[in-house]
Structure 1
Amino acid sequence: MEAMVKKAQPVFSTKTCCIYKAPHELRKLNEDAYTPKVVSIGPLHYLGNPRLVTMEAHKQVYCQHLFQRSEASVAELVSCVQELEPQIRACYSEKINLTADELVKVILIDCCFVIELFLEDEWMINDALFSTPWMHALVIINDLILLENQVPFFVIDKIYNLAFASQLNNGGEFSSFMSIAVDSFSYFNKQGLLPPAANSIAHFTDLLRYFYLPPLHRRPSRVSRVIVLGHSASELVEAGVKFMVNESSSSHGCLLDLEFKDGTLRIPHIEVSNITDEIWLRNMVALEQYHYPEEHYITDYVAFFAHILKTSKDTGVLIKAGIIDSISGGNYDSSVANLFGDVGKGPMLANTNVDYLKICDDLNAYYNDPWNNKMATLRRDYFTTPWKTAASIAAIVLLILTVIQTVCSILQVK
């Protein structure tokens, strides 16, 4: 026992680790959302899934193409990864059952593949791999944003800088790797953000999260409370709450900017694709559970929507308001509610965005105000259609005239 205890070491270091297996509580709800479909990147899914083996040969072809045009020799590129091998291994939460040489090989091939993929040369467009119906850019991108399917960003960046040193340093045709990575994930980058430096991003899942956060100076403070919202979207509508698209937020693209003012809840427009959105939501939430336990802004967003979207009726409210749209088409009311409900299950919340807490407090207070409920009932029962509105106004005018006539009659009698 003493010998065993002396040899005991932490599974991973919280200071260096940034690539994790999704928490069991999240993973069991949808394993496919964390598992690559086409290509494995990094050691966690390396040869662990038979359907990914085919891509290994393609990755080697891409790696060969980068070697052919690299300014650095193969030996120099290998040496670069060898020097970084201990740092790379320390980035993973799981024990990597590969020798140093095996891990260097996996990382180098995967990094070269990603670089060539992002450069989008003509030879790749004509590649038979991408001419097949089941293979297109979004399939690859979906695999590249998975938390378990990552290599550290600093490694790819260093290989890229070594391979194209002169084109980068002397104003050549190559942009920084951060720039081409941002371009490759432009579908998610509605705000048009560019991280300040390569060392500010841990990997592609982290880059994706960066796209959805407000700029650093606009990020709300956090307090040790959890979201409590007692009423769903359809219930809030019955109390008189209006839902509208947050146009001001849409202009700068921050999905997290919610606003409640004067009885109106403004929410940025959401495009819902059953596959893509579930993947990025689940993986960013998983990343925050481990890497950002005190700053889980994406998890706050999911938790809020899990409260207001409990049924297809609630989703219908947001669809009618133009807040939720679908690029997949079809009847998706129930699937959207289930999406946020499922993703919202499991995460642990240490604290919450103060802006969301205030919105929830204000919504609860608005719902519980008797005056708001009475006014909502009045609008719902008497002013929902032009005919009802006209009839109600006519009735009110008739009532007022009747009262005036009665008063005049009383005065004449006196």
Structure 2
Amino acid sequence: MENLKLQYLKSFFTRFDACFIIEHFLRYYKTWVEIDPLLLQPWLTNDVALDMILLENQFPFFVLEGLYNLAIPHHETLDLPSFLNVAFNYFKPHNQQNIRPEKSLLDLKIHEGVLRMPCFKVHSSTKIFIRNIIAFEQCHHLCSPNYITEYIMILDFLINTGKDVNILVEKKILVNLLDDDAVATMVNNLCCNVTLPYIKSGYRSLCDELNGFYENPRNKYKAIFIHDYLR
């Protein structure tokens, strides 16, 4: 495996793409005196960032990390972090969900018929981010969990129309920076033609419990009574 990695690393050593990515990330980690003429316009900078997120433009991480360590072998003494931290710093502004290890986006819970979900922010770039993560999970679904695909499918169960989006916004589950109908269309289409052999037991039991609560006649009559007489 190590020999394969070494061959792969050597085959990419002269590629300008990898060198560009490393330099580009470093420019954002530390302010360079020299200005890159290719990125004088803000929209160009944003386009480059979005292009790097696309699955078809991905480099194997170990290639970039290996080149970084070869180019800057003593990066610790130069007050530069590991390439992982440099990359994380570059994409930090795009983490608009503000996801933290202790407060996972996928932490769905149900208690006495009440579904609790962490807040999810929907903006103009959400479709690009989510679609590329789903595509990545589809390419590796046999060897890694489909965390985001399963989450979007659960969201798709809850959202059919713009009215459903509006309810989730009122309940502070969604922060919507788009039109309600546009969000509904986006969610309904994200998992089209997506293969998911199974859904993890936690989500499956959550769906069963939600359906059971909904089908309970007592809960149905209670909802009708509140809707018709206790507005």
Q: Answer whether TM exceeds 0.5 for this pair.
A: yes
Given residue 155 of structure 1, which amino acid in structure 2 is its aligned partner? Answer: V
1:369 corresponds to 2:219: no
Counterpart selection for 2:8 from 77, 87, 97: 87
Structure 1: where are the runs of 5+ without partners?
1-14, 16-82, 90-99, 194-251, 385-414
Match of 1:343 in 2: 190
Note if contact 1:297-1:353 (Cα within 8 Å) is conserved in structure 2.
Answer: no
Match of 2:128 in 1: 279
Counterpart selection for 2:145 from 292, 295, 302: 295
Match of 1:358 in 2: 205
* CA displacement at 1:290 relative to structure 2: 1.6
Q: TM-score, normalising length from structure 1?
A: 0.50
Q: Secondary structure at the match of 1:260?
A: strand
Match of 1:181 in 2: 87
Q: TM-score, normalising length from structure 2?
A: 0.87
Q: Secondary structure at the match of 2:44?
A: coil
* CA displacement at 1:125 relative to structure 2: 7.7
| C-alpha separation in 2, matches of 1:177 and 1:317 | 42
| C-alpha separation in 1, matches of 2:207 and 2:164 | 16
Most deviating of 287-296 and 261-270: 287-296
Given residue 184 of structure 1, which amino acid in structure 2 is its aligned partner? Answer: Y
Counterpart selection for 1:140 from 42, 48, 52: 48
Given residue 41 of structure 2, which amino acid in structure 1 is its aligned partner? Answer: T
Given residue 44 of structure 2, which amino acid in structure 1 is its aligned partner? Answer: M
RMSD of aligned Cα (Å): 2.5
Q: Secondary structure at the match of 1:167?
A: coil
Note if contact 1:269-1:324 (Cα within 8 Å) is conserved in structure 2.
Answer: yes
Note if contact 2:13-2:67 (Cα within 8 Å) is conserved in structure 1.
Answer: no
**Bigger radius of gyration, 1 or 2?**
1
* CA displacement at 1:277 relative to structure 2: 1.0
Q: Secondary structure at the match of 1:352?
A: coil
Q: Secondary structure at the match of 1:349?
A: coil
Counterpart selection for 2:105 from 223, 248, 255: 255
> Percent identity among equivalent residues?
32
1:305 corresponds to 2:160: no
Counterpart selection for 2:73 from 151, 165, 183: 165
Match of 2:225 in 1: 378
| C-alpha separation in 1, matches of 2:34 and 2:141 | 38
Given residue 181 of structure 1, which amino acid in structure 2 is its aligned partner? Answer: A
| C-alpha separation in 1, matches of 2:64 and 2:13 | 12
1:129 corresponds to 2:38: yes
| C-alpha separation in 1, matches of 2:33 and 2:7 | 33
Map 1:396-407 → 2, pairs under 5 A: none
* CA displacement at 1:127 relative to structure 2: 3.1
Counterpart selection for 1:156 from 64, 85, 100: 64
Q: Secondary structure at the match of 2:110?
A: strand
| C-alpha separation in 2, matches of 1:364 and 1:84 | 49
